[in-house]
Structure 1
Amino acid sequence: MPRMPTPTAMKMGIIAEILEGRTEKYVDTPFGKPSDALVSGKIKNVDCVLLARHGRQHTIMPSKVNYQANIWALKEEGCTHVTVTTACGSWREEIQPGDVVIIDQFIDRTTMRPQTFYDGSHSCARGVCDIPVAESFCPQTREVLIETAKKLVTALTIQGPRFSSWAESFMIPTWGMHVINMTTVPEVFLVKKAGLCYASMTIATD
């Protein structure tokens, strides 16, 4: 298993909405434009790049996010790790609104979302890239988050932008799911194919 970079050698890509003392730049990628500007700066001497997944005005639906461009831009910027935040719903009584949980597994219920860079249509990513996703999230990065959260869960990712019906809500717990969101897939695949470490911290909202 590869060793984690030391904090001074690390450059973190964060898909969230927070940073002070920042610089901004807009970039383009072979897969189009990312959701928003790349906001760069430092958090406790660690280089960070912030990217608002849905745009800073939250105008991009989950099914319309350009996940390929987002992850490609972070990789090109030199990020080694990607830590994301999501909002989720939960069917488990032990997960209450306001709880922070760390996703350990996922089930993909999305449709027609590009899940690779290697589709034969871009000169920057030739060939086919099949990767294992049994361990989808970076265990070392997750351990850092677990120090404060202490909960591992399995997320169900749906197409969106709607929420679940009552019938769906009662059915999904039988699959062993804990929370539901709309953005983990295909982000989790693309980060892995880009060779970056990935972890997701999610807040239960309902």
Structure 2
Amino acid sequence: VGPPWEPPEATDGVEAILIEPGLAFGTGTHATTRLCLGWIDDLLADAAGAPGSILDVGCGSGILSIAAARLAAPSTTIDALDVDPEALRVSRENLEINRVPADRVQIMTRPLNQVTGAYQLVVANILSHILILLSADLVRCAAPQGRLLLCGIGLDSEAEVTEAFQALGMRLSARRELEGWVALLLNHGEEAAT
């Protein structure tokens, strides 16, 4: 991941993503973005379990949607959502810089509570208190066999976030930690991870 004026080299099947950061979050250097990118790569590499629909909540720079567009099957639906007009502008610009076709990622400007449909993967890399505030809508947007990938969670708020989603019927499937940040993968009603 790098800026357009200093593009990184693609190596060994790893494609470079160019990000014009603007004022939107998601340049690829923050631990939470790296956690999400790694998990998206892993989830989409498994063709048998790869999601057919993805919702990127709080898309910021669009980096996670760009990665999903590059890695997912062409038939995968990808929607990106943010309430910040600047983030939406930057996302559109970054999709174009990365030559992601305009119809590959749909950018939505509505609040999460107005999103209809159920997604097989819902990704939200936003701060813990906002994850908790949006928890019911995030769970609603995940299909019955869908998964939630939540990040932006500091170690000090991991238990609170986990409990909020477990109270809504979600079960912790796996977790990853990097530089004091945590990413959680949750499923509807599955047994908790060990």
With structure 1 as the length reference, what TM-score do the two structures score? 0.28
Higher share of residues assigned helix: 2
Greater RCO (CA < 8 Å, at least 6 residues apart): 1
The structure with more radius of gyration: 1
With structure 2 as the length reference, what TM-score do the two structures score? 0.29
